[in-house]
């Protein structure tokens, strides 16, 4: 089962769909995060796999 980590929070998200669809199903806007797997940035359209561990890092921008 794929896992998405948010700071101290861990969510098991299954192994179907994409990182983006998993975020949306959790009610979290994916455009507000960077995603890393093994310390390497990955796109939000990455397919979920059984052994995928994703760290979601919230980003902020402003003027």
Alpha-carbon distance 63 to 52, whole Å?
35
User: What is the domain range of residue 19?
Assistant: 2-58
Question: Read out DSSP for 19-40?
Answer: HHHHHHHTT--GGGEEEEETTE
Q: pTM for this one?
A: 0.89
- Residue 22 maps to which CATH number? 3.10.20.90
Question: What sign results for the dihedral spanned by CA atoms 29, 5, 3, 49?
Answer: positive
The DSSP bridge pattern shows strands 53-58 and 40-41 to be unpaired
In a domain, 47, yes or no: yes
The answer to whether 56 touches 33, Cβ cutoff 8 Å, is yes
1-57 pLDDT tens trace: 999 999 899 999 999 999 999 999 999 999 999 999 999 999 999 999 999 999 999
> How many structural domains compose the chain?
1
């Amino acid at each position: 089962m794929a896992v998405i980590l948010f700071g101290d929070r861990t969510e098991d998200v299954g192994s179907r769909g994409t990182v983006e669809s998993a975020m949306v199903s959790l009610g979290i806007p994916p455009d507000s995060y960077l995603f890393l797997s093994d310390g390497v940035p990955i796109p939000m359209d990455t397919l979920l796999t059984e052994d995928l561990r994703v760290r979601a890092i919230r980003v902020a921008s402003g003027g």
